Amino acid sequence: MSIGIDMVRIERVRELLSDPAVAGRVFSSDEFVENIASMAGKFAAKEAIFKARGTRSDWLDFKILKRASGEPYVATAMPIDIKISISHEGEYAIAIALIETV
């Protein structure tokens, strides 16, 4: 079992998203939502997953999506189970990832 955590300034993610080429490197089409704070949370979640796995991979390998209930989940083709939790307040978004089996 391993965990990872990441915090990001929402404004930086806004800047990143304003360049479509960069935005497309990090998020796939179905991950985009209007709310920048949510996007920042998703960014932090991906970063937290990299930390939990101890290795970086392509940003698009892990999609951060939301169920109808609003609960976030990770969609990946990799044979691993990842749990995440995301929060944001003021200028920052934060996310934590838990991997049960690697």
Partner 1 sequence: MRSIETIPDLFHSFQTKNDEALVYHNGFRTFRYTYRELHERVLKCAALYAARGLSEGDKVVLWGVNSPEWVISFAALSHIGAIAVPLDFQTTPEAAEKIVRHAGATFVVKARSRSPFLTDYPTLFLDDLEEDLGPFAALPIKSSVTEDSVLEIVYTSGSTGDPKGVVLTHKNVLTNAKSVRSLLSLSQDDMALSVLPLSHMLEQTCGLIVPLLAGMRVYYAVALTPSSILRALRHEPITLMIVVPHVVHSLRDRIQSRIRAAHLAPFFDVLLRLVHHLPLSLRKKILFPVTNKFGSRFRYFVSGGAPLLPEDDQFWSALGFPILQGYGLTECAPVLSAEVSLSHRPQSVGHAVYGVELHVAPDGEILARGGNVFSGYYQNEEATHEVFREGWFCTGDLGEIDADGTLFIRGRKKELIVTSAGKKVYPSDIEAVLNRSKGVRESCAVGIPEGGGERIVAAVIMEGVVDLRAVLKEANQHLDSSQHITDLIAWPESALPKTPTLKLKRSAVRQALMSRKNETEGTDSAPSRVIQLIAQVTGKEPTKIHSAQFLVRDCGLDSLARLELVALLEQELHCDISEDDITDDTKVKDLESHVETRARSRHLFEYPFWPHHARLRWVRTLCMESLYMLLPRLLVKRTIRGIENLETIKTPVLFAANHVSHLDQPTIYCSLPRAHRHTLSTVGWLDAYELQSGWRTILNPLKVALYCFAATTTGLVLLSPRASHKRSMEHVGRLIDQGESVLVFPEGDRTTSSELLPFKQGTALMAKSLAIPIVPIGTRGLERVFPRSRILPRPGRVYVSIGKPIHPGSKSLDEITEELKEAIENLKAE
**Which residues are at the interface with partner 1 (CB under 8 A)?**
8, 12-14, 16-27, 29-30, 32-36, 39, 47, 50, 56-61, 63, 65, 67, 73, 75-79
Amino acid type, 17: L
Closest CB 87 distance from partner 1, rounded Å: 19
CA 98 and chain centroid, separation: 13
For the record, the structure tokens of 64 come out as 């951060």
- Shortest Cβ 92–partner 1 spacing (Å): 13
Residue 34 is encoded by which pair of tokens? 């209007």
CB of 1 to partner 1, least distance (A): 18
Residue 37: CB partners within 8 Å, gap ≥ 6?
10, 88, 93
Min dist CB 5 to partner 1, Å, is: 14
CB nearer to partner 1: pick between 13 and 84:
13
Q: Which is nearer to partner 1, 3 or 14 (CB)?
A: 14
Q: For residues 55 and 13, what is the distance between their CA atoms, to the nearest angstrom?
A: 22
